[in-house]
């Protein structure tokens, strides 16, 4: 019997994939914003930082001048002030939304556990930094909304018996608020985002090529959208703060300030309990019972030539290069950190020693996956092609996390599902063709949708001579089909197979590819 949490996650994942599919139709998979949520969050942060620096230059850090200086932005020519202010506010909205969706997506994909535990645990505190920084931004303006938020926040803090005197007393009357208070505001609104940046560095430091900017087209689309929104629907101030009055009707930013109405509707203690329980739950998730971790990559020193390709391609910085034990000067050896290794096999696909053309009967490569070795793959490939009764057999290299290739129709199909498409050494394509295959289909996950971040990208680049190890140019393009098909995209995979089948049907056996000799 399945646990309810599992089925909830699975149902949610199905819904999420359906949503991603809808966005794919409009944006294409490579530019799908739902696959770049972390990078979109970074873009929002950069927008906040850039617009915030300019705003701070013109900001008057005094009780009397703060509101006036921000209000003066609306007088800037060409609507530049409105643009700047709107970008700053709405970038904060985007940051919160991107963060929330990023968190949801990662949880739905089960990314809180295993080797990703570090990323999850370092991400949880960032939620607090984002909200503290964002809420503090409203105080700086010192209008009625800022007054309401400041008082509400401090009254909420006072619900914890931490301080001898209530901090909300600092906002009892106008006389209690002085210019020095803005030092605190500045600390909250600038200091905390700096902490956030520091936390973000921790969050991504175990990632190779962490995406701190979304693809250019997506970035431009988002910035243009926010700019249009800022100009068409300007962010405006409320009346200046007046502590002798309760702000009446507020145009509340519900995305950033929802905690205040929630506190009013319930109680400060309830919201503290909610925040505490939520934080504890997020921190506890990676420690719940979970499936066993995948076996990690194993390096064979005798076959590692220290070329650094696995080091360059590992998506999780699990490989470092160390001096080779053979003590030859300058010779390096790959070393796998088991705590960081995802078990994706991308390193095996990058290893030049993984070529099946090597004459050794037992193919041992520089770095390999114990659960699915390149030797086993070569052996199975030979076996399948040798026993195929089809005149034009087709070989399919798929991915365990993408569209299922095992059920592809046709007696002419020999499917091999790999740990990741990136595990495939490109030379296997040529090897399959030389061994009798009429065509090879390589199925990777949708662009940007690789379970291991970079597998589909490295696969495409290796097969198109843009990355080492590359597929030799002697392999005819008509005999290779590459499909980007994620989980549930079996129809895409089938369509790709049909295209390949039609293409190779009229082709004669490739004279350029001499028949390979089987190894004993």
Partner 1 sequence: MPDTSPARAAPPPGPRAWLGQVVLYGLFALAIGVFSQWPPYRHLDADQALIKLSFTHVGKPVGDCRTLTAEELARLPPNMRAPTKCPRERSPVTVEVDLGGANVLRREAPPTGLAKDGASAVYERLVVPAGEHRIAVRLSDDVRARDHAYQREATVTLAPGQVLVIDFDAGKGGITLQ
Cβ atoms within 10 Å of 53's Cβ, excluding its own = 10
Note whether 399 binds partner 1 by CB under 8 A.
Answer: no
Cβ nearer to partner 1, comparing 366 with 426: 426
Note whether 265 binds partner 1 by CB under 8 A.
Answer: no
Backbone torsion region of residue 288, taken as left when φ is above 0, otherwise alpha when ψ lies between -120 and 50, otherwise beta: beta
Q: Within 171-190, which residues bind partner 1 (CB under 8 A)?
A: 172-173
Stretch that binds partner 1, among 90-98, 122-130, 188-196, 509-517 (CB under 8 A): 90-98
Minimum CB distance to partner 1, residue 473 (Å): 5
Cβ nearer to partner 1, comparing 126 with 471: 471
Among residues 436, 445, 383, 388, which one has the least CA distance to residue 418?
A: 445
Note whether 359 binds partner 1 by CB under 8 A.
Answer: no
Among residues 299, 306, 291, 313, which one has the least CA distance to residue 421?
A: 313
Minimum CB distance to partner 1, residue 497 (Å): 16
The two structure tokens encoding residue 264:
């009013």
CA dist 99 and 39 (Å) reads 10
Note whether 226 binds partner 1 by CB under 8 A.
Answer: yes
DSSP class of residue 143 equals: B
CA dist 408 and 411 (Å) reads 9
Q: Please, what's the b/e burial string for 138-156 (b: 16 or more CB within 10 A of its CB; e: otherwise)?
A: bbbbbbbbbbbbbbbbbbb
Q: Among 14, 251, 328, 502, which residue interacts with partner 1 (rule: CB under 8 A)?
A: 251
Minimum CB distance to partner 1, residue 401 (Å): 17
Cβ nearer to partner 1, comparing 256 with 282: 256
CA dist 151 and 148 (Å) reads 5
Q: How far is CA 313 from CA 156, 329, 386, 444, 459, in A?
A: 48, 24, 33, 16, 11
What spatial distance separates the first Cα and last Cα of the chain, rounded to whole Å?
A: 47
Cβ nearer to partner 1, comparing 29 with 373: 29
Cβ nearer to partner 1, comparing 124 with 218: 218
Q: Within 97-156, which residues bind partner 1 (CB under 8 A)?
A: 97, 148, 155
Note whether 82 binds partner 1 by CB under 8 A.
Answer: no
Q: Among 104, 228, 239, 269, which residue interacts with partner 1 (rule: CB under 8 A)?
A: 228
Counting Cα atoms < 13 Å in the Cβ hemisphere of 81 gives 15
Q: Among 21, 221, 268, 352, which residue interacts with partner 1 (rule: CB under 8 A)?
A: 221
Q: Among 327, 362, 473, 515, which residue interacts with partner 1 (rule: CB under 8 A)?
A: 473
CA dist 46 and 91 (Å) reads 9
With vertex at residue 205, the alpha carbon angle to CA 134 and CA 197, rounded to the nearest 5 degrees, is 20
Please tell me the count of residues contacting partner 1 according to CB under 8 A.
Answer: 61
Note whether 246 binds partner 1 by CB under 8 A.
Answer: yes
With vertex at residue 318, the alpha carbon angle to CA 379 and CA 213, rounded to the nearest 5 degrees, is 110
Note whether 513 binds partner 1 by CB under 8 A.
Answer: no
Minimum CB distance to partner 1, residue 228 (Å): 7
Matching residue, tokens 């927008």: 47
Contact 476, 438 (CB under 8 A): no
Minimum CB distance to partner 1, residue 464 (Å): 4
Q: Among 198, 465, 491, 502, which residue interacts with partner 1 (rule: CB under 8 A)?
A: 465
Minimum CB distance to partner 1, residue 484 (Å): 5
CA dist 358 and 301 (Å) reads 17
Stretch that binds partner 1, among 73-81, 299-307, 458-466, 497-505 (CB under 8 A): 458-466
Note whether 339 binds partner 1 by CB under 8 A.
Answer: no
Q: Please, what's the b/e burial string for 162-201 (b: 16 or more CB within 10 A of its CB; e: otherwise)?
A: eeeeeebebbeeeeebeeebbeebbebbbebbeebeebbe
Note whether 248 binds partner 1 by CB under 8 A.
Answer: yes
Counting Cα atoms < 13 Å in the Cβ hemisphere of 295 gives 11
Q: Among 20, 253, 368, 451, which residue interacts with partner 1 (rule: CB under 8 A)?
A: 253
Minimum CB distance to partner 1, residue 299 (Å): 29
Stretch that binds partner 1, among 44-52, 258-266, 314-322, 353-361 (CB under 8 A): 258-266
Among residues 107, 96, 97, 130, which one has the least CA distance to residue 200?
A: 130
Q: Among 421, 460, 500, 504, which residue interacts with partner 1 (rule: CB under 8 A)?
A: 460
Q: Among 57, 244, 289, 291, which residue interacts with partner 1 (rule: CB under 8 A)?
A: 244
Helix (H) or strand (E) holding 442: strand 439-444
Is the C-alpha dihedral spanning 337, 341, 343, 347 positive or negative? negative
Note whether 254 binds partner 1 by CB under 8 A.
Answer: yes
CA dist 479 and 486 (Å) reads 22
Binding mask 413-452 for partner 1 (x = CB under 8 A): ----------------------------------x-----
Note whether 262 binds partner 1 by CB under 8 A.
Answer: no
Cβ nearer to partner 1, comparing 238 with 404: 238
Cross-strand pairs, 416? 397
Q: Among 245, 328, 331, 518, which residue interacts with partner 1 (rule: CB under 8 A)?
A: 245
Stretch that binds partner 1, among 25-33, 106-114, 204-212, 286-294 (CB under 8 A): 25-33
Q: Which residues bind partner 1 (CB under 8 A)?
A: 23, 25-30, 89-90, 93-94, 97, 148, 155, 158, 164-166, 168-169, 172-173, 221-222, 224-226, 228-229, 232-233, 235, 243-256, 260-261, 264, 447, 460, 463-465, 471, 473, 475, 477, 480, 482, 484
């Amino acid at each position: 019997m399945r646990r309810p949490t599992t089925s909830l996650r699975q149902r949610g994942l199905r819904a999420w994939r359906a949503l991603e599919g809808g966005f794919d139709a409009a944006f294409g998979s490579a530019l799908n914003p739902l696959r770049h949520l972390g990078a979109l969050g970074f873009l929002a942060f950069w927008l906040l930082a850039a617009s915030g620096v300019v705003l701070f230059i013109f900001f008057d850090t005094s009780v009397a001048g703060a509101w006036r200086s921000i209000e003066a932005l609306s007088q800037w020519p060409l609507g530049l002030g409105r643009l700047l202010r709107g970008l700053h506010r709405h970038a904060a909205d985007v940051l919160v939304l991107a963060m929330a969706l990023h968190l949801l997506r990662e949880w739905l994909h089960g990314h809180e556990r295993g080797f990703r535990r570090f990323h999850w645990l370092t991400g949880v505190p960032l939620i607090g930094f984002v909200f503290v920084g964002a809420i503090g931004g409203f105080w700086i303006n010192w209008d009625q909304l800022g007054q309401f938020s400041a008082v509400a926040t401090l009254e909420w803090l006072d619900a914890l018996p931490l301080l001898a005197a209530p901090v909300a007393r600092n906002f009892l009357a106008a006389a209690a608020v002085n210019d020095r208070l803005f030092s605190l505001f500045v600390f909250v609104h600038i200091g905390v985002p700096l902490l956030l940046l520091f936390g973000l560095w921790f969050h991504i430091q175990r990632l190779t090529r962490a995406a701190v900017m979304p693809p250019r087209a997506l970035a431009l689309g988002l910035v243009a959208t926010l700019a249009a929104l800022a100009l068409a629907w300007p962010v405006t101030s409320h009346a200046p703060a007046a502590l002798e009055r309760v702000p009446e009707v507020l145009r509340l930013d519900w995305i950033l300030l929802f905690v205040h109405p929630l506190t009013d509707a319930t109680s400060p203690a309830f919201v503290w309990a909610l925040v505490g329980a939520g934080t504890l739950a997020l921190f506890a998730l990676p420690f719940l019972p979970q499936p066993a971790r995948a076996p990690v990559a194993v390096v064979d020193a005798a076959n590692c030539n220290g070329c650094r390709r696995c080091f360059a391609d590992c998506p999780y910085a699990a490989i470092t290069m160390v001096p080779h034990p053979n003590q030859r000067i300058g010779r390096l050896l790959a070393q796998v950190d088991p705590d960081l290794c995802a078990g994706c096999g991308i390193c095996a696909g990058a290893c030049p020693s993984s070529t099946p053309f090597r004459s050794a009967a037992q193919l041992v490569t520089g770095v390999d996956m114990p659960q699915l070795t390149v030797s086993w793959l070569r052996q199975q490939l030979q076996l399948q092609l040798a026993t195929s009764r089809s005149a034009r057999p087709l070989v399919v290299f798929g991915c365990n996390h993408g569209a299922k290739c095992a059920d592809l129709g046709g007696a002419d199909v020999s499917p091999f599902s790999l740990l990741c498409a990136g595990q495939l050494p490109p030379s296997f394509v040529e090897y399959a063709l030389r061994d009798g295959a009429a065509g090879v289909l390589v199925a990777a996950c949708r662009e940007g949708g690789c379970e291991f971040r970079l597998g589909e990208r490295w696969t495409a680049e290796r097969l198109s001579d843009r990355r080492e190890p590359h597929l030799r140019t002697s392999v005819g393009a008509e005999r290779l089909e590459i499909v980007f098909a994620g989980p549930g995209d079996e129809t895409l995979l089938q369509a790709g197979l049909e295209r390949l089948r039609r293409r190779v049907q009229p082709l004669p056996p490739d004279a350029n590819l001499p028949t390979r000799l089987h190894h004993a």
